[in-house]
Each structure stands twice: as structure tokens, then as C-alpha cells.
Chains A and B, each alone.
Chain A
Amino acid sequence: MAVEEKRTTWLGTSVKRKEDDRFLQGRGNYIEDVSLPNMLHMAILRSPFAHARIVSIDTSKAQELPGVIAVVTGELLAEHNLAWMPTLSGDTQAVLATDKVRFQGQEVAAVVAENRYVAHDALELIDVDYDPLPAVVDPFKALEEGAPLIRDDKEGQEDNRIYHWEAGDKDATDRAFEEADLVVDLSTHYPRSHPAPLECCGCVADVNPASGKITIYMTSQAPHAHRTVFALVTGLPEQNIQIISPDIGGGFGNKVPIYPGYVIATAASLLLGQPVKWIEDRTGNLISTGFARDFHMSGALALKRDGTISGVRVKMLSDQGCSYADAQPSKLKAGLFHIVTGSYDIPAAHVVTDGAYTNKAMGGVAYRCSFRVTEASYLVERLAHSAATELGMDPAEFRRKNFIQPEQFPYRSATGFTYDSGDYEKAMNLALETAGYSELRAEQKRVREEEGRLLGLGLATFTEVVGAGPSKDYDILGIKMFDSAELRVHPTGKAILKIGVKTQGQGHETTFAQIVANELGIPPSDILVHHGDTDNTPYGLGTYASRSTPVGGAATAVIARKVRDKAKKIAAHMLEVSEEDLEWEMGRFFVKGAPDKEATIQDVAFAAYTNHPPGVEAGLEGVTYYDPPNMTYPFGSYLVVVEVDPDTGEWEVQKMVAVDDCGVRINPMIVEGQIMGGLTEGFAMSAMQQISFDEEGNCIGSNFMDYLLPTAWETPKFELDQTVTPSPHHPIGAKGVGESATVGSPAAFVNAVVDALAHLGVTNIDMPVTSAKVWEAIQGAKTKAT
């Protein structure tokens, strides 16, 4: 019989997921599965217009329909001072429209009824008289003089500009451009997208009129922050509010903001004294909840003849919709866009950003992205490709020339970040070797010349900034971006870990148990991870922007170490030696020089409740709040090979190699799963995913027949590999990985398609790179040539 080797670590172990069993048997508990006695159902009436004045709302017929309990309008909410609410960026948004509707799909009224069918029937009986206004859909036109004013509700708001923001050193950058041998520029639009998790948003609000207890079950990536916002907005006492975020069917940023539906349902429950359930339909989800991206970007690189980048300059316009609702740390108006220097040692950088109101839904959520890192990475990686082409250099060689070198870390970027660690060339070399890059380049040339076939190779060597963040720089509505963990070891040596972050499929119940297991030697199967319940977990800012492992995971390691320190005192008492005489190895303390004299962590746990030393408190537990000293900087190198059909413009991925470096990997199976998911969403954005609007502000993409998501049939196959450069400041060296692939891959796909057409003089195709756009680019090049 094989003897299992003594385990020394639980990191780097692909433990099968603890959460899977309930999902595989249909025993998950998603928001729609929450059902309470006496529960009512709510449906929302939405505006058909993008911009219109509300003349009147007649709810009388709806109220008469049997089964209807109440119809809620903005007027009713206004009586309770709830018609408007703050956004995550400190702007305001309507809960239910009172004066105007400002986007198609805006919430206008809500029906509460005995069942969902009746609630929807009643929506059709509400008569709203609208006076349509001209819709503003183009953010450039929105800023022109004389453009219709969207936010006439805001005192002092005289145009549609939300902000003007600059970062970096303008003078130094201007100098770099003046002295440049060559300037390469690129104007592109990162299109509006929607995270579209498979589960829509929803809630069950349960206000108990007798006790005053308010329990809100809701699809929340940040339950604690949401509790505080609810308390601030409604004036209700925070101790009475409990947010429970049950199993979440995907989030990707969509479930970070507070949406009107949650507030209306809570207000309705408060007024009616019964639980009220609101489940969003897919159209409501796509047209009204947090969109992502929508940046119009003009970037330029100042270059030396030898290929050295001496400066980067960016000017952008962000189409925010009708409210500034970015989910982002408040000091930086364009979030973390100033990671735009990427993996490159660029001495000078300057970024100018403007935000504009338009008649579109608000949101600005960081869709699988750390607050605008995705847009920045896309721009610099596309610029790098353009620069290499322009210089006649190989794109890999161009990057090699400009990479920040391993010995330069910690590296201070021109926009003020301190990159923690990296080895970019190593990761790129691995990707190139795995793919057989030089052979592929030769093959590309050969098939083009001999067979007229168009192969393209696209590289992206991105760096992210994640794990927000240090309290001196990062907060949302003033709340600092620490996170927390509470660990209790029970007398039988089993444990419960309670965390402030919240899984939406990332597998926290497994990986966080592994972190504790690694520090204490209690196997993950003996550790329950509890999350998503504000009454029963310590305060935390939640899960988005790849912050769970960098911040919540660090808190978990720290509290496990503190508990181990206490365990050592108890073990010393048990073994009748001093603490200095004890050594630790996975799962046990033993006496130095007498390894058989031991106390396992389970022995110590029992003693903590039955035989605690004099002067030491009973019990074995603790809580900690972790304020990260720095952000983490995961990176990667992606190589995509595509073949473009010159006759139809269709393109197909022949190969995709993704090398990721997210520092130490806790559970490689889960890490790779997240990377493949992220690559798919990156592919989706590059190829098909887009929320667009017609001239009247009608949303094109209000369902899954118009808003295209990739199926198993279109999704390419991925080859994954890794390098490991630990974060020097994280307790276990981990950096976070959930978004790397979505951040890094779109540029690789687009670079590949552009590379296939480079000989025709094609330099850019905006995402989504549809076959129609590719075909047009080929035709355009042919026309030019003739």
C-alpha cells in the first residue's frame, strides 16, 4: 500500500471544489430559489423612450386588477425621500423616474402582486403619458454647445460634461513627443459591453414590521458595503439591516452596484409589511443594469528609431450614460486607467479623460476588470503592435526592447504606480516557445506568398493592477478598501472561516479553506467558509476587481497565523515546555529535539476549550482586518494565431497560448478555470459582444438573440502555461487572477487579425471585429491599391 507523503503545503493543490456537490444536484440556493411565507412579487415598468418628459402616470386600472396589492411610482417614493439615490461615484440616479426618463429601459413604476404573472399583467394597464425629447447618443455630440441637457435635475449642471481629469506629467510627455524620431498613434473605441452573468439580478426584501428587522436577500458582490448604503439612503438603523447574498449565478461586476429594483422592493416591503420578491428579466438586465467599457480612446507612442518608447499620451472620452455610476475607488476619475504604461519602461506619460452624460443606461461597472485596467491594457497593447509594424520590428522584439526588467522592481511607473514584481520577458519567451513563434512567422509568410492564405499572429504582454487597495489611496463612498476574515477553531478541531468577500463562482469555499489549511494543517474538508451574510461575517468591501485573494485571502492567512500563535501558547502549556522550545510543522507543534512529543492542532483546539493555560483566554479564534500595503500586479503573455478568409472576412482562431503569472497559485485547477473563462469573455468582446444604440437611443442588444455571447461552438481552444513571480508584499505571494484573461486577451485577438491584413496596409479594426468589418477593411485596402 502506498504511504501518503507527509503534506507540507496546501498551496498549489487542485483540491476538488467543496461547493460543487450542491450545484451538481440542483441544491444551490440562488436568489430566485429564496421563497418566504406570505411573499409578494414585484415587476417593473420601463421606459420605451431614451429621453422624454413624464407628463402623467395613471395607475388606476392596474390597481383594480385582482391580485394587485400596490403600484409604486416615483411620486410615492418621493414622499419617503427615496425617488433618487446616490451612485457609487457620488452622483445621483433615479430609483423611479419623476421628472424625465433619461434612458430606454429606465424604471418608471412597479407593481406588487400576489404572483408574478399578475404583476406583469398589471404593468400593461399602467398608462404613462410621455413627451419625447431629442435623445443624445453620441458622447462627442453630448459635449457640443447646444446639446440637449440630460441632467437638468442637477443644480449647477449646465452641460453634459461629468468630469475632466488628467494624470501624469504633461510637460515631460510633450518633450518626449517633440524629441521623438517617430510617433505612432491609434484612435479606437472600446465598445460598450454588458457582463451578462447567466443569472439576472434580484432580491427578496423582508421587512418585519413587529421587530423592525430588515432582511434583504440580494444578488450582491459587496453585501457589507450595500448594507451601509441602504442605511445611509433610507435612514434605517444599520443594526436592523441584514444583507444575505445567496449563491450567485455569475457576477463579473454586474452585481456590484445597487439597482432601483432592490430599493423599490425594500420600500414596498416596508410599506406593506410583507416580503417582496423582485427577479429581473433578461431584457431588464441588459438594458438597465451596469454596462461596461465605452471609452473612445486616442493614444500615441513617442518612439526612438531603435524602438525605445520614450512617452505615451492618451486622450479619452468616456460615455457614461445618464449618471456617473462607475464602480471605482473615488480618487481617480478614470479608475485605474493610468496602468496604460503597461509592462513597459516608459519614462513619460500623460492621460486626459473626459466623461460625458448620454441618454443611455448608467453603470460603468468594471466588467471582469479592475476599474478601467482593461481599456488601458487594450490601448497600450494595440499601440505596441502598431509601433512594431511601423518600425518594421517584430512585435515580440519590440516588447523585449521596452519591458521593465526584473531588477527594476519595485518599479515606479510614470503615472505613479509601484509595480510589486514581474518578469515579463520570461513569460513572453515561454508563450513564444510553446506556440513555436518563429516557425509560425515563417509559415505565415509562406502560405501568404504561395497559397494566398492570411495567417495573423497577435501578441499581448499585459500587466494588471488589482487588489484594491491600500487605505491611503482607495475608498468607495469613503469606506476604505480593506477586507476581513474571522476564524473560529471548534473544540473538535474543525473550523469556520467567515470572510467579507463574496464568491460568485470563483470557488472561495475551497480556496479560502486551503489558505487556512496551509497555515494550520486542518484539512480543507474540515473548514467551512461562510460568506455573503452581513450579520454573520466581518465587514468587507466584497468581490470584484480581482481583490478577493489579494485582500481577503491575505486577511485569511494573517488571521490563521494569529490563531496559530495562540495555539502555540496552549501547546506549550500542554507539553509543559516554553514556547521557544516548540517547532511547527503542518498540523502539529513538537518539542525541539523530541519530535514525538507533540500536540496536533486538533489536540490544541480541544485544550483551548477544556484546558486553557492560566492567563490565556479560552477559545481559539480571532478576526482581522487587512489593509494591503500595495496593489498587486499580475501579468501575462498571450499569443493568438488566426486565419482570415480573404473572401468573406471571417476569422478563426487556430491557436491560443496563454501564459499567466498571478504569483503563487492556491488551487491551480480553479486558477486555470478562471483563465479559460476570462479568455472566452475576451474573445467575445473582440469578436461579437457589443451593446449598441440607434439614433433614438433604442438599445440594440436587449436579449441574447441580439447581444451575442459565444457558445461552445465558436469558442476557441486554449493552451495554458504559467510562470510564478510571487508578490513580495502578500502573505502567501498571491496576486489575483480572475480578470487577467479578460484584460489581456482582446488585444491579442485584434492584433492577430490586424497582423493578418498588415500587408494590405490595414492598421486597425475596432471591436467587435466582425467578419463584415474585416471584409470592408480588405475591400478598402484593395480600392486604395487600384
Chain B
Amino acid sequence: MVDITVTVNGRSRTADVEPRLLLVHFLRDTVGLTGTHVGCDTTSCGACTILLDGTPIKSCTFFAVQANGREVTTVEGMMRDGQLHPLQEGFKEEHGLQCGFCTPGMMLVAAALLEENQSPSEEDIRWAISGNLCRCTGYQNIVKSVQWAADKMQSEQTKA
């Protein structure tokens, strides 16, 4: 067993874990945050995407011990001061989700994109989310949702 400390959504979490424990199971079972999903077990679908020090990774093929001393953001950490993140709003406004299973991973990948590129083109968005599968929406509304969020974030910046 190994002692690890991971900062999850700004809060420090310490646990004694098996070295083989996957990060997704650490988040879901040890920390109790079940918004991160498992869809394929093989890094193919992206339902388990989280941000590790701000970079999207697929937590189903990443050991919890590798996250020791690092910062993890999950879907539960997207809200700020009780307000939905613009991406969360955008997905609702543009009907970017149906069953909701891929949504946390999609939004986190999009969040990382918007950190780097404040006004992504449709092509930029499609490329950024191409490691994440959705079986319900056909992606068109996910693209619109991300554009909605980008627009909102830009207009907020202009105001500020």
C-alpha cells in the first residue's frame, strides 16, 4: 500500500492505496466523486477524462499513485461560487447532452481547449473532442455548446 495525497477540486485528499488502483477508481470509490465515468477501460472513449494539473487525461488507464502530489479537476469542480461554468450552461442551452454519460469528459476537454484558445473554430472544437465518444448527440450540438461557452467567456472578459 502507498500513501498518496492528491488535490481534488482544490481539496487535499490523502489515502493509503494499492499501487495498482486506477485514478478513476480512486476518484469514484475512495474520494466518492462519481461524476467521472468509465465507458471502455481502454482509453478509447474519454468518459473518464479529468484534468491533471490542467491537462485532460483519461483516468481509466492512469494509476492513482501517479497523481500523488498533483492537482485533479473533475466535473464536480467546475462550478465557481455556486454558479455553473459557462460550459455547463452552454451544454444545457444548446442541448449538448442526452444520456449525460460522456458529458463530464466532454466538458473537461472543452475547458482545457478554452484555456488555450478563447475563440476556437468548429474544426478546432471537433479536433479537441475527437478523443471522446458520444453515442447520443452526433456531436453537432456539443460543438455549438462549446461555442456558446466561448462566446460567453469572451463577453465576460470584455466586461471585466
**Residues of A at under 8 Å CB distance from B?**
16-17, 19-28, 30, 32-33, 116-117, 196-200, 247-250, 252, 279, 281-283, 504-507, 669-670, 672-674, 676-681, 703-705, 709, 711-713, 715, 717-718
- Determine whether the beta carbon of A24 is less than 8 Å from that of B42: no
Q: Assuming A507-B98, A713-B126, is B37 touching A704 (CB within 8 A)? A: no
Task: Determine, out of B64-72, B88-96, B151-159, the stretch whose residues face the partner at the interface.
Answer: B88-96
Q: Which residues of B contact A704 (CB under 8 A)?
A: 40, 42, 44-45, 133
Q: Which residues of A contact B136 (CB under 8 A)?
A: 250, 505, 673, 677
Within 8 A of A (CB), among B1-52: 18, 20-21, 25, 28, 33-42, 44-45, 47
Q: Assuming A248-B99, A505-B100, A677-B98, is B74 touching A26 (CB within 8 A)? A: yes
Smallest Cβ-Cβ distance to A713: which chain B residue: B130
* CA distance in complex: A680, B139 (Å): 9
Query: What are 10 contact pairs spanning A and B, CB under 8 A?
Result: A25-B79, A30-B101, A197-B101, A198-B39, A199-B37, A282-B45, A676-B141, A703-B44, A704-B44, A712-B139
Interface residues on B, range: 35 or more
Q: Which residues of B contact A252 (CB under 8 A)?
A: 135
- Determine whether the beta carbon of A196 is less than 8 Å from that of B135: yes
Q: Assuming A24-B92, A676-B138, is B99 touching A250 (CB within 8 A)? A: yes
Smallest Cβ-Cβ distance to B25: which chain A residue: A116
* CA distance in complex: A197, B134 (Å): 9
Partner of B88, one of A24, A198, A247: A24
Q: Assuming A16-B92, A703-B44, A717-B140, is B99 touching A711 (CB within 8 A)? A: no
Q: Assuming A198-B45, A199-B37, A199-B101, is B137 touching A24 (CB within 8 A)? A: no
Smallest Cβ-Cβ distance to A22: which chain B residue: B100
Within 8 A of A (CB), among B86-142: 88, 91-93, 95, 97-104, 107, 125-127, 129-142
- Determine whether the beta carbon of A715 is less than 8 Å from that of B37: no
- Determine whether the beta carbon of B35 is less than 8 Å from that of A198: no
- Determine whether the beta carbon of A250 is less than 8 Å from that of B135: yes
* CA distance in complex: A198, B36 (Å): 13
Q: Which residues of B contact A713 (CB under 8 A)?
A: 126-127, 130
Smallest Cβ-Cβ distance to A279: which chain B residue: B38
Q: Which residues of A contact B101 (CB under 8 A)?
A: 28, 30, 197-199, 249-250
- Determine whether the beta carbon of B135 is less than 8 Å from that of A506: no
Minimum C-beta distance from B104 to chain A (A): 5
Smallest Cβ-Cβ distance to B127: which chain A residue: A713
New A-B contacts (6) at CB < 8 Å, excluding given A28-B101, A673-B98, A676-B137: A20-B97, A24-B75, A24-B84, A24-B91, A26-B34, A248-B99
Smallest Cβ-Cβ distance to B122: which chain A residue: A717
Counting from the closest, the 3 A-B pairs by CB-CB distance are A26-B35, A505-B99, A23-B100
* CA distance in complex: A19, B79 (Å): 18
Partner of B35, one of A21, A27, A117: A27
* CA distance in complex: A504, B76 (Å): 22
Check B57 for interface membership: any CB of A closer than 8 A: no
Q: Which residues of B contact A199 (CB under 8 A)?
A: 37, 39, 47, 99, 101
- Determine whether the beta carbon of A32 is less than 8 Å from that of B99: no
* CA distance in complex: A506, B137 (Å): 10
Q: Assuming A24-B103, A282-B42, A676-B138, is B34 touching A17 (CB within 8 A)? A: no
Q: Which residues of B contact A247 (CB under 8 A)?
A: 99-100
Q: Which residues of B contact A22 (CB under 8 A)?
A: 100
Minimum C-beta distance from A411 to chain B (A): 32
* CA distance in complex: A497, B140 (Å): 32
- Determine whether the beta carbon of A26 is less than 8 Å from that of B36: yes
Minimum C-beta distance from B60 to chain A (A): 10
Smallest Cβ-Cβ distance to B60: which chain A residue: A282
Check B150 for interface membership: any CB of A closer than 8 A: no
Minimum C-beta distance from B132 to chain A (A): 8
Minimum C-beta distance from A778 to chain B (A): 28
How many A-B Cβ pairs are below 8 Å? 166
- Determine whether the beta carbon of A25 is less than 8 Å from that of B35: yes
Q: Which residues of B contact A19 (CB under 8 A)?
A: 100
Minimum C-beta distance from B152 to chain A (A): 15
Minimum C-beta distance from B131 to chain A (A): 7
Q: Which residues of B contact A16 (CB under 8 A)?
A: 92-93
Q: Which residues of B contact A20 (CB under 8 A)?
A: 91-92, 97, 100
* CA distance in complex: A321, B97 (Å): 34
- Determine whether the beta carbon of A712 is less than 8 Å from that of B143: yes
- Determine whether the beta carbon of B135 is less than 8 Å from that of A198: yes
- Determine whether the beta carbon of B18 is less than 8 Å from that of A117: yes
- Determine whether the beta carbon of B133 is less than 8 Å from that of A715: no
Partner of A715, one of B97, B102, B132, B139: B139
Q: Assuming A23-B103, A505-B136, is B75 touching A32 (CB within 8 A)? A: no
Q: Which residues of A contact B39 (CB under 8 A)?
A: 198-200, 249, 282
Minimum C-beta distance from A543 to chain B (A): 12
Q: Which residues of B contact A281 (CB under 8 A)?
A: 41
- Determine whether the beta carbon of B88 is less than 8 Å from that of A25: yes
Q: Which residues of A contact B131 (CB under 8 A)?
A: 711
- Determine whether the beta carbon of A504 is less than 8 Å from that of B129: no
Minimum C-beta distance from B105 to chain A (A): 9
- Determine whether the beta carbon of A282 is less than 8 Å from that of B91: no
Q: Which residues of A contact B93 (CB under 8 A)?
A: 16
- Determine whether the beta carbon of B92 is less than 8 Å from that of A703: no
Q: Assuming A24-B91, A704-B42, A718-B140, is B99 touching A249 (CB within 8 A)? A: yes
* CA distance in complex: A250, B39 (Å): 11
Q: Which residues of A contact B84 (CB under 8 A)?
A: 24-25
Q: Which residues of B contact A28 (CB under 8 A)?
A: 35, 100-101
* CA distance in complex: A704, B42 (Å): 8
- Determine whether the beta carbon of A197 is less than 8 Å from that of B135: yes
- Determine whether the beta carbon of A30 is less than 8 Å from that of B37: yes
Smallest Cβ-Cβ distance to A709: which chain B residue: B133
Smallest Cβ-Cβ distance to B139: which chain A residue: A712
Minimum C-beta distance from A67 to chain B (A): 12
Minimum C-beta distance from B85 to chain A (A): 9
Smallest Cβ-Cβ distance to B133: which chain A residue: A709
Q: Which residues of A contact B102 (CB under 8 A)?
A: 198
- Determine whether the beta carbon of B139 is less than 8 Å from that of A705: no
* CA distance in complex: A17, B145 (Å): 14
Q: Which residues of A contact B100 (CB under 8 A)?
A: 19-20, 22-24, 28, 247, 249, 505
* CA distance in complex: A28, B76 (Å): 11
Smallest Cβ-Cβ distance to A199: which chain B residue: B101
